[in-house]
Amino acid sequence: MSETNTIVKVRNLKKYFELRKGFLSIGKDITYVKAVDGVDFDMRSGEILGLVGESGCGKTTVGRLLTRLEDPTDGFVFFLGRDIALIEGQDVKVFRRNIQMVFQDPYESLNPRTTVTQTIMEPLLNHHIGESPEERLEMVVQAMEDAGLAPAKEYLNRFPHELSGGQRQRVAIARALAVKPRVIVADEPVSMLDVSIRAGVLNLMLDLREKYGIPYLFITHDIAVARYISDRMAVMYLGRVVELAETDEVISNPKHPYTQALLLAVPVPDPDAKHGRIDIKGEVPSAADIPLGCRFRPRCPKAFKGCGWEARDFIDWLGEKGYLAEDNKLRQAIASFHPDGFVLRMTVNDGADPNAVVDLVKDLVAEGRRAHPLLDSVEVIDTLMTDRVIEIDCRPAPISADALAAELFTLLESTVAYEEPDHPMHGIIADMRLEKNRLIVSVGDDAQNLKLAEAFLEDYIRHHRRRNRPEFKGVKSISASPANMTVTLTCVASKEPAVKTAEDVAAHIEKRLAAEGTGDLAKSTLPIETKKKRVRVRILGPESNWSRLLEALKELVTANRKEDEGFAQRVSRIRIKTVKKPQKTVATKFIRAEEPPLFDVGEGHQVACYLFKGGRLGQPPATERGSGQPWA
Amino acid sequence: MVLLEVDDLKVHFEIQDGWVKAVDGVSFSIDSGETMGLVGESGCGKTTAAYAITQLLPPNGRIIGGRIFFKEPPRVAAYRKEYDEKLKESPKARQRELSRVKRKLDRVDQAIGGSAPEVEELKDRLAALNYSFDLIGLSKRKDGSLDDYNEEIRKIRWTQISMIFQGAMNAFNPVFKVGDQIVEAITLHEDVEESVARERARELFEFVGIAPDRIDNYPHEFSGGMKQRAMIALALALNPSFIIADEPTTALDVITQDRILAEIKRLQEQLKMAMMIITHDVSVVAEVSDKIGVMYAGLIMEIGQASQVFKNTAHPYTAGLLGSFPSIKGEKRRLVSIPGFPPDLVSPPTGCPFHPRCQYAQKRCREERPEGVTIEPGHVSYCHFANKLWEKLRRTA
């Protein structure tokens, strides 16, 4: 694995904390604080990666996930090719030795009752490093001298309270260094230190990198510090990395509107430096209630049509423009607003005519269209029949051994990019092929590689089985054959649970409806919901839309097309179900947008912003843009 | 016009091991409408100096010496300086002069009376001799501690000099509505109806950029930046002429910090308010201050206009501080840290307190506390070798 230079690989990492609201919330949906919500980055050997963001953006949690002080809700951290969530038993100790942490507060991270020697010696003893006490003492002295506590003799028997803040942080660094880790995670290591001391600790960290080539993840809120110390920089906002590039590139050529605003806000120690301002709107939203689409959109000065505007933005806008004032026609016609993601349901007053409300909303949307990109992203405004829902009941589906192997093959191919040079399996896995119910992974010629690949695949299957692919228990055996240099995964027939098939069916319907050219039918269909083994579909507009949609769905499931194969046996019944008393309702549906992934804009510069979709540098095409930009 | 003059202020704290010499002879002045930044590392005495001005020292704080003149008319200040020079270290001579001026005033007052220029002059002379505009003199007890509840001081505090406290997060009482706390401050000092005070509070909210209807929210319903804005509103409530802001942006994120600094700049421009900003962050000071004082170990090391201190740095400590501060602008250069660490103020180093960490230190630095060396008009460095080092220290701008 020595040829790969990626030490840590973080993929789609998530950490949700449950938010308990007391006993009144029992039975209600649990809300989660999404501290980390899909983070991707790599750490390369010998490199300092700066993780920058405002307080509450999740940067500290990322550090804690990397060191396994927290378990992720989803996603992976690969450390030297292994998924750290799967490291067990004795290996945990090895892992902990290899990834060390330096904490923010040197007044709290050192035990006040142990001397410097004891503090630094402890990890050596824990990990059985060093043959004799003398040797260990020598290591302690070496680590201290490396950390700039020289002459070490003077400090060996001191207690933390006998040291200054800078010296304490040096002890913490020496403690991390003593076990010769492969990675150091440093969480705000200088923010508690006095300005005149800070530079010394930063320089020390740079020198140590120079000397030992240890990569750091340097977590900080201070962009100037990150600029000074890091080679690459990842900017986080509300649980996600929004921009990632070489540090100089981020500083001199920031692309994401958030990064731009952040950089303009940093004060400069020079009274003549006049700096501009982009005032982004409002405050960071709560991590328990993250905006859909691009999460920076509500504050973004450059947001446009395709950023994922949602119902509550519309309500805010209505309020701002005075449509919700008591004497407004719209307000008088509507009894209540029910924002739900990309759909806004409005319950119409008894006396009012829903169709008139539809026209009213259409008019005001048409009027405001050029002024605010939000209105540009209105897809459909129509009445909604609330008394019915199309329910598709799903059942567990048997999955043949061959199909399972095929599915596994697709998954491995799409997620294990062993052909990329920085993938941990690069140079280890040479090829994968499918043979009926067996998946054969061939390995480059090295017995060591065979073992690594086997361990990796075992971890991989186990991980997916635990998370959301229970059908992988049909992977009966994983066997390495040194003769052929292959690892063979043999599958037997298995069963997909109904919950899983329901998800499949929902995804399938969504995809097909969009592709089918059903035009207004797909447009008017509300986002598809799954509840356990049931898929629920609703559509805007008159009765006739419902029957058409039902027909279309039946056809989708029963059709004997190749790509639809198997859906008939996953669905037990499709019907329109009457759910409650009809209510006069009008709904506005907005163009749906997913969270923007990191788009590559060249030379390793990645930006999570739809302005850069497809690596395009610059502005969105005029058609997508609305007029006012930046809008105010 | 000079609004506030601090003259040789010394504030010490009594602790078990002795006395912490937190402020040990600090002098500076602030003109009306001017913003001064006081920078220094933690424990350098910058906050203590500010609290001495508002007379809010902890119980173990003692004023060991010095005076703080507030709103002293220029002529009084001139007479005061004249007398101080003339009557230096001779209380008896001052006493004699005092009774002489008093007698003369009585005489002239009876002869001419009213507000004749001559009477005015004598009154000013009397005020100068009595240090009438000295805040410390008003409330200092015999043992050097301050009487927080002194009526005269309470009249000045908040109506004339108000404060934006460090950590606005905790400066509001969590069990009262933010608006009520502002209303309370107004009605306590001014004889106005509560409804009038509420209206003023709403206006203040509007002024600092918070929706006026948030007046009935509790502090926990505000974000950090909003609390800081509300704190500014509270400080402005009684229209003071001088505001002290103690680390106004320290706990805030950059974007919020930027907004608050913009707010502070707006105060300076629109209300022409004099301010003193206390911070450890050199870049914050650079952003908003006209004048900068650099403090270290209870003493001012260097003082001058912002551009003078930043560009024509004339003290090794200032140079060290600037050299150890990373920036996002300009060339990336290696930071230079100042060796050693800040001294213990119970037993500060003799002579220049910075000498143990100073690469230019010589014998004289260990023995003699430096006097101010004027580098250019308004720019003073407290370093024996300021004139010599100045050329070397000033950064190539």
In chain A, where the domains are located: 3-253, 297-385, 391-395+497-587, 397-495
**Predicted pLDDT of residue A26:** 62
**Residues of chain B neighbouring A60 (CB-CB closer than 8 A):** none
Q: Verify whether the Cβ–Cβ distance B324 to A195 is below 8 Å.
A: yes
Say if the Cβ atoms of B323 and A199 lie within 8 Å: yes
Q: How far is CA A388 from CA A97, A342, A582, B263, in A?
A: 59, 20, 8, 54
| Chain B residues inside the 8 Å CB shell of A280 | 255
| Chain B residue whose CA is closest to A274 | B287
What residues contact residue A52 under an 8 Å CB cut-off, 6+ apart? Answer: A59, A220, A221, A222, A223, A226, A233, A234, A235, A236, A262
What's the pLDDT score for residue A474? Answer: 83
Which of A486-490, A493-497, A530-534 bottoms out in mean pLDDT, i.e. has the lowest? A493-497
Instruction: Respond yes or no on whether the N-terminal peptide bond of residue A630 is cis (omega within 30° of 0).
Output: yes
Tally of CA atoms within 13 A in the half-sphere of B28 that contains its CB? 30
Asked if B254's CB is within 8 angstroms of A221's CB, the reply is yes
Give the torsion sign (CA, B192, B195, B198, B204). Answer: negative
User: What count of residues does chain A have?
Assistant: 632
Chain B (309-368) residues lying within 8 Å, Cβ to Cβ, of chain A: 310-311, 320-330, 332, 334-339, 341-342
Q: Using 50, 70 and 90 to split pLDDT, how confident is the model at A628? A: very low
Q: In one letter, which amino acid is B130?
A: N
Chain A contacts in chain B segment 165-224 (CB below 8 A)? 223
CA-to-CA separations, A544 to A383, A463, A582, A584, B275, in angstroms, rounded: 13, 46, 16, 17, 71
Tell me, yes or no, if B286 comes closer than 8 A to chain A by beta carbon.
Answer: yes
Strands A438-443 and A429-435: antiparallel
Residues 6+ apart with CB under 8 A from A31: A18, A19, A21, A288, A289
Q: Give Cα separations from A1 to A5, A81, A182 (angstroms).
A: 9, 8, 14
Confidence of residue B382 (pLDDT cuts 50, 70, 90): very high
- What token pair was written down for B67? 């005076």
CB atoms within 10 A of CB A317: 18
Residue with tokens 């610059």: A618
Q: Are residues B350 and B366 in contact, defined by beta-carbon separation less than 8 angstroms?
A: yes
Q: How far is the C-alpha of A473 from the C-alpha of A495, rounded, in Å?
A: 9
Burial A581-619 (b: 16+ CB within 10 A, else e): eeebbbbbbbbbbeebebbebeeebbbbbbbbeeeeeee
Residue from B369, B371, B354 nearest B316 by CA = B354
Class of domain A3-253: alpha beta
Please indicate whether, in this complex, the C-beta atoms of A198 and B324 are within 8 angstroms of each other.
Answer: yes
Helices A133-146 and A165-178 cross at an angle (nearest 10°) of 130
pTM higher than the cut 0.80? yes
Provide the shortest C-alpha distance from residue A450 to chain B (in Å).
46
Quote the minimal CA–CA distance from A228 to chain B in Å. 6
- Residue B349 is given by DSSP the state P
Placement of tokens 């933005």 in the chain = A313
Backbone φ, ψ for residue B85 (5° rounding): -65, -45
Q: Which residues does residue A101 pair with via DSSP β-bridges, in sequence order?
A: A185
| pLDDT score at B337 | 86
**A274 against A622, higher pLDDT:** A274
C-alpha A293/C-alpha A594 separation (Å) is 5
> Which residues of B are less than 8 Å from A201 in CB distance?
337
Residue A417 has a pLDDT of 63
Peptide bond into A424 cis (omega under 30): no
Residues B328, A266: C-beta atoms closer than 8 Å: yes
Inter-chain contact A270–B320, Cβ cutoff 8 Å?
Answer: no
- What residues form DSSP beta bridges with A535? A392, A530
Mean pLDDT of chain A: 85
Q: Are A36 and A65 in contact (CB under 8 A)?
A: yes
The pLDDT of residue B395: 57
CB contact under 8 A, A225 and B326: yes
Pick from B42, B328, B330: CB nearest A223:
B328
- The identity of residue A214, as a single letter, is I
- The confidence score (pLDDT) of residue A28 equals 65
Sheet with B2-15, strands from edge to edge, namely B18-31, B2-15, B61-70
> Residue B333 burial (CB < 10 Å; 0-12/13-18/19+)?
exposed
CA atoms within 13 A on the CB side of B387: 6
Residue A196 has its nearest CB partner, among B258, B321, B328, at B321
DSSP string spanning B258-272?
A: HHHHHHHHHHHHHH-
C-beta neighbour count of A215 within 10 angstroms: 24
**What digits encode the pLDDT tens for the residues B59-69?**
899 999 999 99
For helices B254-271 and B224-236, the axis angle rounded to 10 degrees is: 20
Measured distance CA(A403)–CA(B44) in Å, rounded:
72
Angle between helices A116-126 and A133-146 (to 10 degrees): 120
Within A483-584, residue ranges assigned H as helices are 498-515, 520-524, 543-558, 567-570
Residue A79: the pLDDT is: 86
* Selected residue of B214, B296, B337, B396 to mutate for chain A interface (largest A Cβ count, 10 A): B337
Residue range A65-83, pLDDT digits in tens: 999 999 999 888 888 777 7
Give the whole-angstrom CA distance, residue B78 versus residue A385: 86
Share of chain B above pLDDT 90, in %: 46
Look at A196 and B337 and tell me if their CB atoms are within 8 Å.
yes
Residue B103 is encoded by which pair of tokens? 């007698």
- Indicate the residue of B42, B255, B306 with minimum beta-carbon distance to A265: B255
Structure tokens at A213: 């080539």
Q: Does A278 touch chain B (CB under 8 A)?
A: no
Taking alpha carbons only, the member of B300, B246, B276, B271 closest to residue B70 is B276
Neighboring chain B residues of A225 at a CB cutoff of 8 Å: 326
Residue A251 is encoded by which pair of tokens? 């500083």
- Segment A163-180 shows an average pLDDT of 90
Task: Name the band, by pLDDT with cuts 50, 70 and 90, for residue B168.
Answer: low
Residue B71: what pLDDT?
92
The arithmetic mean of pLDDT across residues A329-352, rounded, is 88
pLDDT at A402 (0 to 100):
86
**pLDDT score of A631:** 36
Locus of tokens 């007698």: B103
Shortest Cα–Cα distance, B104 to chain A (Å): 51
B28: tokens are: 């500076």
A-to-B residue pairs, Cβ atoms closer than 8 angstroms: 126
Tokens, residue A77: 């951290």
- Residue B27: helix, strand or coil by DSSP? strand
Q: Measured between alpha carbons, how far is A32 from A562 in angstroms, rounded to an integer?
A: 40
Please list every residue in chain B whose beta carbon sits closer than 8 Å to the beta carbon of residue A265. Answer: 254-255, 257-258
Residues A253-308: pLDDT tens digits? 999 999 999 999 998 888 887 667 767 888 888 888 899 999 999 899 888 888 99
Predicted confidence (pLDDT) per residue in A134-157, tens digit: 999 999 999 999 998 888 888 999
The three-state secondary structure class of A540 is strand
d(CA B146, CA B131): 17
Query: Would you state the structure tokens that stand for residue A178, as one six-digit string?
Result: 């003593």
Instruction: Give the tokens for residue A367.
Output: 């009027």
Cβ pair A255, B249 in contact under 8 A: no
Establish whether the linkage from the previous residue to A151 is cis, with ω within 30° of 0: yes
**Minimum mean pLDDT range among A453-457, B176-180, B194-198, B288-292:** A453-457
Q: How far apart are the first and last CA of chain A?
A: 52
ipTM of the complex: 0.87
